[in-house]
């Protein structure tokens, strides 16, 4: 019998006060996991705790900067003492800076790399020893279509997410023998509050140009919903994926498989 249940498991989802991280954490909770999340400051953590409470979820929230190795080590120690050993890690925390490459400072480039690539390395490194001792573990890195594609103004983000894809494969290679599976989820364009302005109808009733662009490039002809990531996350966190390792599961409505429509009249 395939087991998708997560009863008795402790899941740490970084940066999961809202948005994609919150949706993934909620799905893991529904499958039976105890949810732990962090955010960069107390205000965001408290907002996240309220969000979980409003959805009937008892979550454990901690303030932690995931780019700070000492802070992450202390976080993992506290979680192990107060909640339990982490069985499932979802490296969700991330940022993006949309700046043309020649206008982007090296400091801004490094900041994106630090949050989107160095932090997953730091957090994974912190949880792996206890996973080895326990005899199992699941690590899910939130990658991106930019793990495969380039696009104007996202040089740092694409570099980080491409690196995260390879970090995922390397963790799988290095720790698979300890029954630790490390996989990635690559979301497509997801409808969140942050992308809402890009989906608003124009004054003449037409679609926003970027909205039209995404719809035309997506075989599913729609934006994804955060809930579209729930099933893939539960699968990769559960025993159902025990022989799946080093894989990036793109949840993109088919964008990466699609060359696009031929222009009319040609």
Q: What distance in Å separates the CA atoms of residue 42 and residue 239, rounded to the nearest whole number?
A: 34
Tell me, yes or no, if 157 is annotated catalytic.
yes
- The sign of the dihedral angle between the CA atoms of 233, 239, 240, 243 is positive
Q: CA–CA separation, 65 vs 265, rounded Å?
A: 53
User: In the sheet that 137-142 helps form, which strands lie side by side, from edge to edge?
Assistant: 59-63, 34-39, 10-14, 88-91, 137-142, 180-187, 248-251
> Of 157, 175, 189, 250, which is the active-site residue?
157
Nearest-CA neighbor of 13 among 27, 1, 3, 2? 27
Place of tokens 């996973």: 131
Contacts of 165 (CB under 8 A, 6+ apart): 143, 147, 148, 184, 248
Nearest to 86 by CA among 32, 137, 37: 137
* Distance in angstroms (rounded) separating the CA atoms of residues 29 and 200: 32
Distance CA 86, CA 102 (A): 41
C-alpha span between 31 and 51 (Å, rounded): 18
Q: Count Cβ atoms below 10 Å from residue 28 Cβ, excluding itself.
A: 27
Active site (catalytic) residues: 157
């Amino acid at each position: 019998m395939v087991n998708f249940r997560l009863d008795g498991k402790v899941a740490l989802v970084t940066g999961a006060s809202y948005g994609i991280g919150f949706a993934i954490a909620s799905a893991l909770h529904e499958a039976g996991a105890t949810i732990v999340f962090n955010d960069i400051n107390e205000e965001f953590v408290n907002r996240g705790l309220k969000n979980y409470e409003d959805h009937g979820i008892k979550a454990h929230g901690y303030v932690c900067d995931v780019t700070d190795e000492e802070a992450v080590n202390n976080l993992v120690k506290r979680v192990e003492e107060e909640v339990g050993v982490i069985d499932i890690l979802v490296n969700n925390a991330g940022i993006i800076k949309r700046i043309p490459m020649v206008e982007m400072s090296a400091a801004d480039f490094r900041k994106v790399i630090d949050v989107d690539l160095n932090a997953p390395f730091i957090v994974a490194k912190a949880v792996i020893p206890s996973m080895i001792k326990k005899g199992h573990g699941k690590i899910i890195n939130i990658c991106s279509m930019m793990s495969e594609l380039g696009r104007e103004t996202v040089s740092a983000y694409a570099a980080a997410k491409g690196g995260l894809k390879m970090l995922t494969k390397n963790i799988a290679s290095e720790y698979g023998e300890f029954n630790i599976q490390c996989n990635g989820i690559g979301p497509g364009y997801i409808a969140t509050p942050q992308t809402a302005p890009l989906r608003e109808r124009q004054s003449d009733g037409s679609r926003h140009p970027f909205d039209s662009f995404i719809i035309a490039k997506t075989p599913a002809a729609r934006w994804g919903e955060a809930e579209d990531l729930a099933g893939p996350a539960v699968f990769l966190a559960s025993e159902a994926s025990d022989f799946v390792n080093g894989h990036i599961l793109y949840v993109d409505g088919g964008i990466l498989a699609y060359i696009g429509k031929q222009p009319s009249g040609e």
